[in-house]
Structures are given as C-alpha cells and as structure tokens.
Chains A and B, each alone.
Chain A
C-alpha cells in the first residue's frame, strides 16, 4: 500500500468521523504544522493554537482539497493563512497598545525576536538578526525553503504566488542575507 492510498483512506475516514483516521491525521502532521506555525509566529502558545485551528479548518474544508498539490502542501497553505491572520491581529493589538505603553513609559521590545535572545552563539545571532531584518514575505519563503525543505513549486502553491515570483523573492532574500552577513562579519 503506497502513501497516496494511505492518505486517501485517512481522509475518507476523517470525512466519516472515524476516530482512528482523525488520530492518524493529527499524528502525521501536527509536528510539521506546529513548527511551521512557530517559525512564522515565534510564539509557542500561538503556534499551538494555530496548529489546532489549521487542522480543524482542513477537516472542515476537506471537500475542497483537489489533489492538485500534496496534502501536506495544502495543509501548509491553510496554516500560513491562519498564521497571517494571527499576525494581522497581533499588529492591530500592538498598535492599540502602543499609546498605553507610551503613556506608562514602557519601551517596546517587539523588534527583538525570541531567537536573538535564545542564542548565545554569535554567528547564529547574526544570522537571525539578518533573517529578522527581512520583511515577512521574504522571510516566509526562506523558512519554507530552508527549514521545511520544500521545492519552489510547493512554496508557490503555499504562498499563492507564481513560481517566477517565488524565485525572485528567494533571490532577493538570499542577496540581502549575503550582504547583511558580510557586513556582520566585517563588523566583528
């Protein structure tokens, strides 16, 4: 029995509400989705919630899965949308809270990503600083490419862009990183 047949059976079982199929689906994808959500949101609690939301949405929209891409790619696209929604809400929240923070004399540390704080290795800190200096649309593509090892076609489907645009963004992100890392190295 090949993987395609397996996932077909799992999805069929999920549609029918079969507990074993649901469990199999959750076990097969929860880690991938959680890490993907974490890599976008940088917050374990939010990543956990986004993983739940994404899998529930996927089951809800299972009838719309057309098999044009792999199921994993389809799940990643849903997760990315979920994460983007959360990021938008976060930005609104931060905007609303900014005047309050100013009022109470607090300084915002939002630019400091957890990765920068967590690492002690100078090179890694420099790399993270460079990654975080990129805007969201370039960072997403780097993460999908180098953390999730996805091909350009799959990335294009997940982010909803053409292959050509993804190539261009990957090139731009690379070039900026190369320059940033060279500057970092020069400074040290």
Chain B
C-alpha cells in the first residue's frame, strides 16, 4: 500500500479516527509508526480536540432554557396544529366545492338536449318513437285514444313531430290501417293539423302535435291490423325515407275483436 504524505496524514488526524474508513485508519497508523513528526502533530491535534470539547462543555452545559419556555413552546405548537387542522379543513372544503362546481359545469356541458316547447299545451308523449324521416323531421312518438277496438270504432291518433330546422317542402302525413296481407283498409292523408301547420312553417325544435281520427269499417272482421305512418311530398307523391331506410313506420299492431 502506498504510504501517506505528511499533509494527508495531518488531514486524517484532524478528522479523528471514528470518521475514517478502515483503509484510512490503517494507512494513518502505518504512517504514524514511521513518522515521528506526525506523531507529535497527532498529540497536538488530540490536544486541540480535547481542549475544544472541554471549553465548549464548560461554557454551555450550565445553560438551561428559561423555565417558561416549555409552556410557551407547547402552547405555540398546539396553536399551530389547530391552525393546520383548520387550514386542512378549509382546503378540503374548498377542494370539495371546486370539485362539485367542476362536476356541475361538466354535467351542464354534456346535458341531454331538452325537449322543445310543446304547442297546443300538449301533455307528454305517451309512446316514444324518435325516428327521423328525411334529414330533419322526427316523429317523437304517438298516442292512441283506445287499445281495445271493435269494428265501427273511431280511433283517435296523436302524432308528435319535431323538425331540427324548418323543412323547405310542405309534406303531407299519412296514416294507414293495413291487414296482415298489407291491404289498405283505412287511411288519413293530410297536411299536419288539417293544413293549418304545414311543415314549411315548423320552427326549429318546435313540437307539433297532429291529431287524427280514423273510422274503422263496420264490417271489419276481428283480427290483427297494422297502423303505419309516414310523410310524402304531395306534389310528387314520393315518400320520405326513415333513418332506417324504410318509407313508412309501423306504429303498432291493433287487435280488433
């Protein structure tokens, strides 16, 4: 092992043995065993260390904190802890309020579209359909005046329409009653609300309630009949296709007894 220089040995001596690594201790011991000058220096360094320790202890050991200090510290610490708890609680409440506010804003932002104003003071839609004809007109749903029918009965039908934007074409609404062989038995074809609310006058998102009546033939045999509905352009006769690609929608199947 390389022997130590005097300077390095003196550097180690000032550290004290306890803070030297084993290798450093070993090399220092080897150097001291061979170097009288550094041995004498070691004695001096020891003396400096012990003198420092003794004068410092002699000076400060007799000092004590003032008797009232304990109480003061404990009071201040308790106050600080209460302050921290209050701050934490306030912070939690503020965070909670902020979170709640955030949720409300997000919920408002992603809220489902509200139904538009219902004209003629109509009640809610009894049976929901939500099927779009063409690009803009949606059949929201329908309602029937009765479920059990017999031949000769008059059936009241309410259709609830809504247009996203005002249609450019005045469409007619048809309601057909067909038997199981698709034979047309009864029909009601007319502009909405007997021509008083043509589709070209519908306001965006306005709900139009179109009430119709159909008279069942008095000789209608008992059986199952389909009630279908749709829109067509009276000037061309062409029907509006639904979003499902059909030119009419079966509202329901009626049981006639």
Flag whether B63 is at the interface (Cβ < 8 A): yes
User: With A115-B59, A146-B56, A177-B48 as given contacts, are A52 and B72 in contact (CB-CB < 8 Å)?
Assistant: yes
A30-B73, A56-B73, A143-B56 given; 7 more Cβ-contact pairs under 8 Å = A30-B70, A39-B56, A39-B60, A51-B73, A142-B52, A167-B15, A177-B52
The residue in chain B whose Cβ has the minimal distance to the Cβ of A173 is B14
* A170 close to chain B: CB less than 8 A: yes
Smallest Cβ distance from B123 to chain A, in angstroms? 60
Q: Nearest Cβ distance between residue B88 and chain A, in whole angstroms?
A: 11
Cβ-defined partner of A170 (8 Å) among B15, B44, B58: B15
- Shortest CB distance B37–A (Å): 14
The total of Cβ contacts below 8 Å across the A-B interface reads: 111
Closest residue of A by beta carbon distance from B51: A127
CB of B228 to closest CB in A, whole Å? 72
Minimum-distance CB pairs A-B, first 5: A147-B56, A174-B14, A34-B65, A17-B81, A146-B52
Contact of B65 among A31, A118, A170, A175 (CB under 8 A): A31
Question: B56-112: which have CB < 8 Å to A?
Answer: 56-61, 63-66, 69-70, 72-74, 76-78, 80-82, 84-85
Cβ–Cβ contact B76 & A170, under 8 A = no
**Chain A residues at the B interface, C-beta cutoff of 8 Å:** 14-15, 17, 19, 22-23, 26-27, 30-31, 34-35, 38-39, 44, 47-48, 51-52, 55-56, 59-60, 115, 118-119, 123-124, 127-128, 131, 142-143, 146-147, 151-152, 167, 170-171, 174-175, 177-178, 181
CA distance A51 to B70 in the complex (A): 10
Q: A17-B85, A19-B78, A56-B73 are in contact. Are A171 and B55 (CB under 8 A)?
A: no
Closest to B63 in A: A38
- B-side residues, CB < 8 A to A, are 10-11, 14-15, 18-19, 44-45, 48-49, 51-53, 55-61, 63-66, 69-70, 72-74, 76-78, 80-82, 84-85
- In the complex, the chain B residue whose C-beta lies closest to that of A54 is B73
A-B contact pairs, 13 of them (CB 8 A): A14-B77, A19-B74, A22-B74, A26-B73, A31-B64, A38-B63, A44-B66, A56-B80, A59-B81, A146-B49, A146-B52, A167-B15, A171-B11
Is B82's CB under 8 angstroms from A17's CB?
yes
Query: A51 and B60 in contact (CB under 8 A), knowing A59-B81, A60-B84, A151-B18?
Result: no
> Are the CB atoms of A23 and B15 closer together than 8 Å?
no
* Minimal beta-carbon separation of A52 from chain B (angstroms): 5
